[in-house]
Amino acid sequence: MKRVTLFAGHYGSGKTNIAVNYALQLRKTHERVLIADLDIVNPYFRTKDSLDELTRAGIRLISSDYANSNVDLPALPTEMYAITDDTSSLAVVDIGGDDRGAYALGRYAPGILEENDYDMLFVCNMYRPLTTTPEDAVQVMREIEAACGIGFTGIVNNSNLGDMTAPGDILASLPYADAIAGAAGLPVRFTSVRADLTPALEGRGAEIFPMTLQKKYY
């Protein structure tokens, strides 16, 4: 396990859901955990939607002051430097979609690379229109790496259809994730699965990460 875990991927790949669930899982075994929302592109699903749950778990949330507001201002607080400065905490980072969102990570990249205690995980979802093939997904990977200056270290398969997801949908995505991993020369770290589906997928050839779906509050 690395001190900093960064989740990046295409728009709608499910980065935020995974980041929130991953932070909650880390908090079960670690005293100090923070989650940083670097998504300055998409204001719809934000880690701040899970503020109450994160606070109850004792997880520090760092996000734009304008998250979950009607103000569309791509500003990040200076507190965001805790990603690199607060080495006593495990940090989970939710990065904006595609290369445009990844540019925000660039200002923190030197500190992350200098410490060299990070995982940069590419979240893929074969059921999203622009990443339906491994080739398209790898292209998105390369664009993100070029934008932020940090290379990926692993793949997270988050292929799903939301509430309509069935076990067969996830099983069908395993070769897709393996193809991305093979093309990129990286391991598939885990396949995220809605918690109630995990019994049907255990022992089916994938490392399973059970999670709950983040809800959007209006």
CATH code where residue 170 lies? 3.40.50.300
Q: What is the pLDDT of residue 140?
A: 95
pLDDT band at 69 (very low <50, low <70, confident <90, very high): very low
* Residue 136 counted as domain residue: yes
**Confidence at residue 139, expressed as pLDDT on a 0 to 100 scale:** 96
Confirm if 4 and 66 have CB atoms less than 8 A apart. Answer: no
State pLDDT tens for residues 20-48: 999 999 999 999 999 999 876 655 557 88
Q: 100-110: per-residue pLDDT in tens?
A: 888 889 999 99
Task: Among 18-22, 64-68, 81-85, 194-198, name the one with the lowest average pLDDT.
Answer: 64-68
Structural domain count, the chain: 1
Residue 22 maps to a domain:
yes
Whether residue 216 is contained in a domain is answered as no
- Tell me: pLDDT of 207 over 80: yes
**How far is C-alpha 159 from the chain's CA centre?**
13
pLDDT at 157 over 50: yes
> For the chain, what is the mean pLDDT?
89
- Confirm whether 78 is domain-assigned: yes
59 falls within a domain:
yes
- pLDDT(133) > 70: yes
Q: Is the dihedral of CA 167, 169, 175, 176 positive or negative?
A: negative
Instruction: With respect to residue 217, please indicate whether it lies within any of the assigned structural domains.
Output: no
**Structural domain boundaries enclosing 124:** 4-211
Residue 80 located in a structural domain: yes
pLDDT interval class at 72 (50, 70, 90):
very low
Least confident of 40-54, 89-103, 132-146: 40-54
R_g (Cα) of the chain, nearest Å: 16
Whether residue 131 lies inside any domain: the answer is yes
166 pLDDT band, cuts 50/70/90, is very high
β-bridge mates for residue 14, sequence order: none
Mean pLDDT along residues 58-69: 74
pTM (predicted TM-score): 0.91
